[in-house]
Structures are given as C-alpha cells and as structure tokens.
Amino acid sequence: MVIIMKPTASEQEITFVINYIKRNYDLRIDTITGEFQTIIGLIGEENQVDFELLELLPGVERAHRIQTPYKLVSRSYHSADHIIDVKGVRIGGSSRPIFIAGPCSIESKEQLLQIAAQIKSAGADILRGGAFKPRSSVHSFQGLGEKGLELLARAGEEHGMPTITEVRGETQVEMVAKYADILQIGARNMYNQDLIESVARQHKPILLKRHFGAGFDELLNFSERAIAEGNRDVILCERGLIPVGKGRQHTRYMLDLSIVPLTKIESYLPVIVDPSHATGRRDLVLSMSLAAIAAGAHGIMVEVHHQPEKALSDGPQMIRPSELQHLISTSLNIYQHITKET
C-alpha cells in the first residue's frame, strides 16, 4: 500500500503520518522523497489497514493499494528509473550498458591479476570472481574462501574496477561485505529470504540472480525483501531457466530474454543478463549477449578466462579477453542504435 503526500505537505505532517502508522499497525515503512512529493510505502500485511481513515490524515493526497504481489519494487510505487552508482560506474535507466567480467572461480593471484588486466583493456567495467562457490557436489572444488576475497579486492584496486562476488550463506555476509563492492546472491539462493535480508543490511549494492525455476513475479517479490530492509540498490540478473525442450539439451539453461523488457515495464530496477551460465557454451555467448543488449539489458555479466581450458570450474563456458573486446564494442554499437531508434 502506498500513501502519496501532497506536494505542499510539511515535514511535520509527513512525520505525523509515519508515526501514526507505526503506533497503530504492525507495519514497517519505506519512504521515497521525490523532488515534488513524498511517498510512503507500507511493509507487511495490509489487511489490517483502514484506507479511508488514512486519507483523512493531514498532508495526505491519496492512499491506494498496489495490485501486484510485489509493491515496493513496482513502477506504480516509484515511477522513475533507479540508477545505481558503484564507484562511478552507473547501472540502470538510460545509462549505457555495463560489462561485468572475470573468471568463474578465483584460482590464484597470478590468474586473477592477469585476467583483470586483460578485461580492463577489453573495456570491462566491473570485475567478478568466485571465492565461495555454491557446488552441487561435496566432492568438487569449493573456492579459495577469504583468501580469494582479498585477491579480488586487490585486483579491483590495481585496475580501477569495482568488484562483485557471491555471498553463499548467512555466515559469510559480513566477511564478503568487507571486500566486495557489489554482493551477489546466486540463483540457488534467490528464495533465501534470510540471506537477502541479511545482505541488504550491509548497505551495498546487491545483484540478485533469478532462480532457474522462478517466475518473474517471484524475482520481484524477493528483490522486495531487500527494499523492505531499506536497500533499493538491487540489480536483477537473468541467467536462464530449466530447459524444457524434450531430449538432449544443447544448452545448460534456457535464457529468457523477455524478462528484460518486462522488468522495464513493471519495475524501476536495472536488469542485466548472464549469457555464460545460461548457455554453458563459449560459442553461444556472443550471440546471446548481443540479443540481450538489443532487448534492452542494462548490462552483461560474462565469465572470462585467459586459459579457459585450464580453468578449475566452468571452463567450457568462459570466453577469452579478445572475444570480450569484440563483444563489448558490438554491444555498444547496437545499444546506440536501439537508443537512437526507440
């Protein structure tokens, strides 16, 4: 539910309304202070609320229910695009698409510094690398842990790129937040509300990956968990759904690009695409990246390795730095056409 204050509402009136709600209902509050108006969002079970009464409070222009299951993340609540600034890299709205690149796993100092240097000169904006790997099998490489985080922070600093890495569980939240600029919640954790809320409280930008079985509403619902904690800096990321075509699968997942224009219609949050996990194949990454940009994505997150054949994980889907350069320049050309034309 949303309370829209009059453009002429005073500080006192706004405070009065907020206090009134806190006193009378078991609800939390989110406030958007716009250029002209303040909007107050209510968080929790709305059935308890008497709408008509609220509209009688001083300074209130209108109170209305938002029909979608997600509310704080909806364009009906907050109409302007939300742009996230990470150390000068702007993500969202009509900013040019950004490119997040780096290896699947951080394997060693040499590996990471070399890749960081090469993706920087290929045009990447943000450095990625996994330190705590979510793995299906207890018998696989599980990542370097905190040592990996240190290497990531250092490589980002040396090459002037903000960094992103995954937080796999609640016990690692504070540690990862000490090192990385963007905290990633992986696809397997998209439904993990406790983790999302815990990460949101670090007040750093969050990248929330869509689970491979999640509907679009669910992606928005769980991003709402972060906003309800007071952190609106959420980047959504499509990385493919369970493939349904019968028989042999030619890709790891199925990239659902419709999510890109849908997000722009339904929400104000930025949305990017990860073609590496979606396809699982190096030879499809370029085509699917260009398709994502043509569909309007705010960015691409792609796995890059200087020696994919020697990688400890995800080798078959990582591209080389030279391929990244071509991907970025063609993407930016397409972006300029889309923008000019639309």
- H or E segment and range at residue 329: helix 321-341
For residue 64, what are the β-bridge partners? 2
As measured in angstroms, the least distance from the Cβ of 275 to a copy of itself is 9
137 binds a copy of itself (CB under 8 A): yes
Site residues for a copy of itself, 213-242, by CB under 8 A, read 213-218, 221-222, 224-225, 228, 241-242
Nearest to 303 by CA among 276, 328, 279: 276
Q: Out of 157, 283, 307, 322, name the contact with a copy of itself by CB under 8 A.
A: 283
> Among 130-138, 147-155, 157-165, 177-185, which window interacts with a copy of itself (CB under 8 A)?
130-138
| Cα distances (Å, whole numbers) of residue 266 to 11, 46, 81, 90, 297 | 30, 21, 11, 21, 14
Three-state DSSP class for 212? coil
Residue 244 near a copy of itself by CB under 8 A? yes
Identify the residue among 194, 203, 310, 322 touching a copy of itself (CB under 8 A). 194
> Can you tell me which of 151, 288, 300, 324 binds a copy of itself, judged by CB under 8 A?
288
Minimum CB separation from a copy of itself for residue 298, in Å? 13
287 near a copy of itself, judged by CB under 8 A: yes
Q: What is the DSSP string of 294-323?
A: HTT-SEEEEEB-SSGGG-SS-GGGPBPHHH
Q: Single out the segment in contact with a copy of itself by CB under 8 A; choices: 17-25, 92-100, 283-291, 316-324.
A: 283-291
Identity (one letter) of the amino acid at 215?
Answer: G
Asked if 76 interacts with a copy of itself (CB under 8 A), we say no
In the window 28-57, what residues touch a copy of itself (CB under 8 A)? 43-46
Of the candidates 2, 40, 59, 70, which one interacts with a copy of itself according to CB under 8 A?
Answer: 70
Q: Which of 98, 80, 81, 79 is nearest to 89 (CA)?
A: 98
49-57, 80-88, 112-120, 183-191 -> range binding a copy of itself (CB under 8 A): 183-191
Kindly state the number of chain residues that form the binding site for a copy of itself, as judged by CB under 8 A: 83
**Calpha distance 108→97 (Å, rounded):** 29
Alpha carbon distance 242, 188 (integer Å): 12
**H helices present in 161-211, as ranges:** 173-179, 193-200
Task: State which residue, 162 or 231, has the beta carbon closest to a copy of itself.
Answer: 231
Q: Is 284 in the site for a copy of itself (CB under 8 A)?
A: yes
Q: How far is the CB of 309 from a copy of itself (least distance, A)?
A: 16
Distance of CA 285 to the CA centre of its chain: 20
Binding status of residue 99 toward a copy of itself by CB under 8 A? no
Is residue 223 a contact partner of residue 269, using CB atoms and an 8 Å limit? yes
CB of 38 to a copy of itself, least distance (A): 21
Q: Are 282 and 274 in contact (CB under 8 A)?
A: no
State in angstroms the smallest separation of the CB of 268 from a copy of itself. Answer: 17
